[in-house]
Amino acid sequence: MNITQITDSLQNLLNNFDKDEFIYQLLRAYNVPNASIARLKKGGRNLSKNPNEIDWKTKLFYKIAEPTENVHEIMEELKANGKAIKNSPRFIVVTNFTTLLAWDVKMAEALEIPITQFINLSTKVFFYELNIYNYIFLDIYMC
């Protein structure tokens, strides 16, 4: 998958923003196989029983917070209580759809970006700002 294909997929995600489909569209933008995404949506790969979470073993822990919740507090709580790291995800992502906060467990790097900025970024700036996503989804795809 080349940069043009990724940017086209991300532009499609941004043009058709849907909270329920956001993480799946983001995974799809980075060429995660449709079969893996389908299994994740159906629960076959999702180890979490919470409808607002995805726990994809060794790959991703994703949590949707309430709009009024602080994503930093939720991230710290998830890391502290061990829930998010129980299945050794490479990445932990928390969003309240105002802010997106991502933590690369392996690299110990964080990314925080307002969703409004995320949606309005040009694709070139998007890639510079969200360099961590190259790690996130390309690493998930390669595993």
Local structure of residue 93 (DSSP, 8 states):
E
Residue 102, judged by CB atoms within 10 A of its CB (0-12, 13-18, 19+), counts as: buried
What is the reported pLDDT for 143? Answer: 43
Length, in residues, of the chain:
143
C-alpha 8/C-alpha 4 separation (Å) is: 6
pTM value is 0.79
> Which residues of the chain have a pLDDT value below 50?
120-133, 135-143
Q: Which percentage of the chain shows pLDDT scores above 70?
A: 75
The domain spans of the chain are 3-142
pLDDT at 136: 47
First to last CA, the chain: 15
